[in-house]
Amino acid sequence: MFIEGDNLDVLRLLQKSYRSKVKVIYIDPPYNTGNDGFTYGDTFSEPENQYLRAIGALDEDGVRQVSELQDGLKGRFHAGWLNMMYPRLKLARELLTDDGVIFISIDDNEQANLKLLCDEIFGEDNFVAQLIWENKEGGGGGDSKHFRIKHEYVLVYAKTRAMLSICGVEIEDQDRYKYSDAYESRRGKYQLVKLDSASIQQSESLKYVIEHEGEQIRPNGCWRWSKAKYKWGIENGFIVIKKGRNRKLSVYSKQYLKVDNEDKPIDRTKRPMGVISKYSTTQSNREIQDLFGKMVFKYSKPYQLIYDLIKICTTKDDLILDFFAGSATTAHSVMMLNAQVNGQRRFLLVQLSEPVSKKRAGEAYAYCAETLDTLEPRISDIAKQRIRLAGEKIKREISMLKIDLGFRVFKVAGSIFLRDDEKKLMETKQGELLRYTTDLKREDFDSLIYEVVLHTGVMLDEQLRREEVGGGNYPIALCTRRCYCVTEGLTQDIVQEIIDRHGDEFDTLFYLGDCLAPTVSYAEIEAAIKLAEGDKSVKALNFY
C-alpha cells in the first residue's frame, strides 16, 4: 500500500485502524545535512530570534543577553529537526506490535540527538542496538577534514524489548563451512570439529581407543561421541581421521551446514553482526540505474540492507511501515523477500507528494516527463514507479512466482468531517500534533467509504465489496462483517432491503447522520432495523 501525503497526517489517520498492527518500521529520514532538498527540505532550523528567546539568550525587548553566540546558534538547526521528528516517532510507536521493532537510518549530524529522542519515546530499556553500516566502498569519502567517513548508523529500538525476537542469519559457505564431499547436495558443505575435548565432563565410557591403519588414537581428555556413535559416524561419512601439523593422527567429526550430527535437516544460523559491510551506496545506485535506466534518485539505500533487517524479525504475513518512503526501497525489499520465501508480508509506504526540482534533480524530472508523461512530476511518482518496475523485475527473475505484487494507492486530502474548531487547528504548526485530516472527498463514494472505514478501525487493505440496493440507485459497502451507508437518500425501505439481502454478511450497520432522506428521522431508521432484522442481530451506529 502506498499513501501520498504528509507523514504526520497519515500517522494520525492510522492510529485507530493500525494501532499495534505494525511489526517493523524502517525509516530513512532526512539527515539535516543542509545539502539534500530532494524529499523533505533537508535542513530544519528555527528562526534565530525564536531560538534565542527559547534558550533565554534574548529578552522580551529583543536585547541579547549573551555576547558570544555563534556556536550556540547551531542548536537551532538541531531543534528544528527534532521538532519535526518527535511527533512522528511518538505516533509511530503506537502502531508497533508489542514485539515490534523500529530501524532508523541516520548519520553523525543527528545521531546523538536521535538517540536521546528515541530513549525518551521508546524508553532506554528498549534500546536494542546501534548498527554501523559501511555505506561507501574503497577508502570512503572526504566528508571530514580529520577522518575519511565511510559509515552511517541504523538505530534499533523495540516496542517492548523483552518480547522482541531477532532471528539468526543464515551461515554462508565461505564463513566456516568450506569442505565438500559426496553428500554435499543434501547435507551442504561442512567444517571439521575435533572429536576429543579436554573441557567437557569426563566419563570412562568416552575414553575408548580408536584404531586406524594399525595405529591407536587416544583422546585428549575424552571423546565427545560414544563408541556406538563413532561407529555410526564412520559408516555414514561423518568422521575424518587425518594427521595434523605434528604428524599425529587426529579424529574429527564433520559438522554439515544443512544437517545435524544425526543426519537430520537443520537451519544453522548465527547472530546478526552489528557492523554491516556487504552493501554500499554504489550498489543502490546500480539498482536505480538498472530499474529506471537513469539515476533518478541519488540517496536511496540498497534494497538488500532493508531486506536483511526485515528478514531477521518478521514472519510470513507481517506488516512493514516506512513513512519516509523516498524511492520506495522498502517496498522493493518486502516484495523480494516474499518472492524468495513465498511470504505474504505487506508494506505500507508514505511519501510526501513534493515536486521534483528540474534544476536540482534533472534526470528525475526528465524521466517523469518522458516516461510517466507528467508535466508536474513528484517524488511520489518516482516511488510508485519503483514499486512497479521492481515487481516486474522480480517476476522476470523468479520463475513460477505466484505472489501478488500489486499495491493500492491513497492520497491525503481534506476530511468531510472537519468541524469548525478543527479548521482552526489546521492553521497551527505541524509539530503540535493537533490536526486531524483524512484522505477522502464526499462526492467520491469509494473515497468516502475508505474514510469511514478508517474511522471505524478497519485496515485499508481489507477487501471492500460494493453492492447496489434501492433499485440500483443506492450504493452500500460490505467489509469485515460491517455494512456502510454513506450517501444521501437512506430510507426505511432501503434499510429493510439491505438487511433482507445482506443481513447474514454483517453485524453492524454504519450510516452517516446526514445521509438520511429529508423526511426520515434517526428513530425511524432504528425502528426499520428492528423490524427488518427478525431473528438476525444487527447493531446500527450513527457515524457523525
Contact predicate 224/196, CB 8 Å? yes
DSSP-assigned beta bridge partners for residue 195: none
515 vs 283, more confident: 283
Nearest to 527 by CA among 486, 495, 479, 501: 495
- Domain locations in the chain? 2-168+272-411, 184-270, 420-543
Please identify which residue in the block is written with the cell numbers 546500480.
286
E strands, 21-72, are 22-27
- Residue 428, pLDDT above cutoff 60: no
Task: Indicate if the pLDDT at residue 437 is higher than 70.
Answer: no
**pLDDT exceeds cutoff 60 at 209:** yes
Cβ neighbour number for residue 333 with a 10 Å cutoff: 27
Hey, how many other C-beta atoms are within 10 angstroms of the C-beta on 438? Answer: 25
Q: How many Å is the Cα radius of gyration of the chain?
A: 31
Q: At what angle do helices 111-122 and 75-95 cross, to 10 degrees?
A: 40
For residues 195 and 100, give the distance between their C-alpha atoms in angstroms, rounded to a whole number: 42
Per-residue pLDDT of 278-324, as tens digits, reads 899 999 999 999 999 989 988 899 999 999 999 999 998 999 999 99
Instruction: Give the C-alpha distances (Å, rounded to integers) separating 254 from 198, 235, 445.
Output: 19, 13, 66
Q: Which range has highest mean pLDDT (351-355, 442-446, 536-540)?
A: 351-355
Question: Taking CA 156 as the corner, what is the angle to CA 155 and CA 158, rounded to the nearest 5 degrees?
Answer: 145
**302 close to 280: Cβ distance less than 8 angstroms:** yes
- Residue 431 buriedness (CB in 10 A; 0-12 / 13-18 / 19+): middle
Q: In sequence order, what are the residues at sequence separation of 6 or more whose Cβ sits closer than 8 angstroms to the Cβ of residue 141?
A: 148, 149, 150
pLDDT tens, position by position, 379-404: 999 999 999 999 999 998 887 777 78
* DSSP H stretches of helix in 426-538: 445-455, 492-502, 522-533
Q: Is a pLDDT exceeding 50 seen at residue 251?
A: yes
3-state secondary structure of 83: helix
* Model confidence pLDDT, tens digit, residues 169-182: 877 666 689 999 99
| pLDDT at residue 468, as a whole number | 92
Q: Which of 480, 481, 455, 483 is nearest to 469 (CA)?
A: 483
User: What confidence score (pLDDT) does residue 417 get?
Assistant: 59
Q: What is the pLDDT of residue 41?
A: 43
| Helices (H) then strands (E): counts for the chain | 16, 23
Mean pLDDT of 446-454: 84
Q: Sorting pLDDT into bands at 50, 70 and 90, what band is 35?
A: low
pTM here? 0.79
DSSP β-bridge partners for residue 105: 154
Contact 160, 151 (CB under 8 A): no
35 within 8 A of 42, measured Cβ to Cβ: yes
Where does the pLDDT of residue 416 fall: very low under 50, low under 70, confident under 90, or very high at 90 and above? low
How far, CA to CA in Å, does 456 sit from each of 446, 452, 480, 500? 15, 6, 11, 24
Residue 58 pLDDT more than 60? no
Q: For the chain, what percent of residues have pLDDT higher than 70? A: 83
Among 224-238, 289-303, 432-446, 452-466, which is the least confidently predicted range?
432-446
- Under a CB-based contact definition with an 8 Å cutoff, are residues 113 and 36 in contact? no
Name the E strands within 68-158. 96-106, 127-133, 152-158
pLDDT mean over 121-135:
96
- CATH for 2-168+272-411, options being 3.40.50.150, 3.40.50.720, 3.90.870.10, 3.20.20.70: 3.40.50.150
- What pLDDT does residue 61 have? 60
Is residue 430 predicted with pLDDT exceeding 50?
Answer: no
Contact 137, 282 (CB under 8 A): yes
The DSSP code for 259 is: B
Length, in residues, of the chain: 544
pLDDT band of 373, cuts 50, 70, 90: confident
Q: CB of 137 within 8 A of CB of 186?
A: no
